[in-house]
Amino acid sequence: MISLTLSREPEWLDLTHGVTVLIRPLTAAIFSAARADLEADDLIDAEAQEIAAALVKAIARRTILSWEGVGDAEGNVIEPDETAINALFDLWPIYEAFNERFIARWLLLGEEGNGSAPSPTGTSAEVLDIARPAPGAAPTAPPG
């Protein structure tokens, strides 16, 4: 069974190192828009890790409304804009916390499903030859 959170209200999320972000819920529309951002970022020849990092940043840019605990080099509070969010998410602990505490919650819905895991013998699985002759049976020629 899937557990739905019907609230569309923003919520505060504690990341790490005193950083807290006010985020809107991650919806299919936001996720799709973030993926479209990647197409505009010309990541055709990028490594998988670069694409994953770019997707997390795109989701952050579309969901973060406000934050606490983020400032410039002089200690002045700064507002979350595209440049600041990208700079913040270049920091591994922030990136990882956001990915695990926010994005993973949404992606785990796919695992809740109906209680069935994807079949390892689905259409893309390799076919294994598991047929063996019964003990004492006469050998047969392999098919054509």
Asked if the structure places residue 129 within a domain, the reply is: no
Contact 62, 44 (CB under 8 A): no
Asked if the structure places residue 135 within a domain, the reply is: no
Asked if the structure places residue 138 within a domain, the reply is: no
pLDDT in tens, 19-71: 999 999 998 899 999 988 887 766 777 888 888 899 999 999 999 999 999 99
Asked if the structure places residue 85 within a domain, the reply is: yes
Residue 1 makes CB contacts below 8 A (sequence gap 6+) with 112, 114, 115
Asked if the structure places residue 79 within a domain, the reply is: yes
- DSSP string for 73-101: TTS-B----HHHHHHHTTSHHHHHHHIII
Among 9, 21, 24, CA closest to 95: 21
Asked if the structure places residue 100 within a domain, the reply is: yes
Using CA atoms, how far apart are residues 98 and 91, in angstroms rounded to an integer?
11
Torsion sign, CA atoms 28, 9, 57, 53: negative
Asked if the structure places residue 5 within a domain, the reply is: no
Asked if the structure places residue 120 within a domain, the reply is: no
Domain hosting residue 29, numbered range:
11-112
Among 13, 18, 36, CA closest to 103: 13
pLDDT in tens, 88-114: 999 999 999 999 999 988 776 655 444
Strands (E), the chain: 11-14, 20-23, 64-68
Domain count for the chain: 1
Confidence of residue 1 (pLDDT cuts 50, 70, 90): low
This prediction has a pTM of: 0.70
Using CA atoms, how far apart are residues 25 and 6, in angstroms rounded to an integer?
10
Q: What is the pLDDT of residue 87?
A: 95
Q: What is the pLDDT of residue 74?
A: 93
Quote the tokens at residue 110: 């796919």
Confidence of residue 140 (pLDDT cuts 50, 70, 90): low
